A and B are shown apart, each in its own frame.
Chain A
Amino acid sequence: DGGITQSPKYLFRKEGQNVTLSCEQNLNHDAMYWYRQDPGQGLRLIYYSQIVNDFQKGDIAEGYSVSREKKESFPLTVTSAQKNPTAFYLCASSTGSPGSTEAFFGQGTRLTVV
């Protein structure tokens, strides 16, 4: 089945610790995105990548980092610099511009600071 796989589903982070969220897609999509979702806030863009080895900051990139070494993979690291990391994180992918179409999402990772 083609789709987007996020892991883990639940993740707990201690204060001062870096954690990495995994996102893998087998849809052969060029573009990939990371969004953060908080209650009442909607989806806010963290980082996006339109091609391998290239990525851009979104609206709330501070305290996060990404890499795009393979077309299929777009991991997100939540660093200790992110002061309020507890949230639901969503990864998505789409065909790249100019043939841009709808984005498809993974099932999300819920990160909690303990």
Chain B
Amino acid sequence: EDQVTQSPEALRLQEGESSSLNCSYTVSGLRGLFWYRQDPGKGPEFLFTLYSAGEEKEKERLKATLTKKESFLHITAPKPEDSATYLCAVRGGSYIPTFGRGTSLIVHP
């Protein structure tokens, strides 16, 4: 059974204070690891897909990295508008996405 664990559950940062979110996973035959951003009361918005260890993707202040056991979402010099819940998901041999519980990020001005 595929499993995804995200940490921390919640993170409070000051504007400009860089940090990282963790996503640990176990999956049979990784076919993709996905990061999403979710704002309150809305559906998740797709950010990145990573397929193999060593791969990195960047978008503005966000950078996602992948190893064989975990993925990190690095947030560089965050702004208040980066406040959201960040979800990690994996797709394995079943092709069904399995999600973690998310990390709630609050960035204070």
Q: Which chain A residues have a beta carbon within 8 Å of chain B's beta carbons?
A: 4, 6, 31, 33, 35, 40-43, 45, 48, 50, 58, 88, 90, 92, 94, 96-98, 100-108, 110
Besides A103-B89, A105-B44, A107-B43, 9 more A-B contacts (Cβ < 8 Å) are A4-B43, A41-B101, A58-B96, A88-B41, A92-B43, A96-B95, A102-B46, A105-B43, A106-B43
CA distance A107 to B95 in the complex (A): 22
Known: A100-B32, A101-B49, A102-B32. A42 touches B42 (CB 8 A): no
We find that the number of chain B residues with CB closer than 8 angstroms to chain A is 22
Check if B97 is an interface residue, CB within 8 A of chain A: yes
Q: Which B residue sits closest to A10, measured CB to CB?
A: B41
**Which one of B45, B46, B87 lies within 8 Å of A43 (CB-CB)?**
B87
Please determine whether A42 and B97 come into contact, CB atoms closer than 8 angstroms.
no
Please determine whether B31 and A100 come into contact, CB atoms closer than 8 angstroms.
yes
B92 to chain A, nearest CB (A): 10
Q: Which A residue sits closest to B96, measured CB to CB?
A: A48
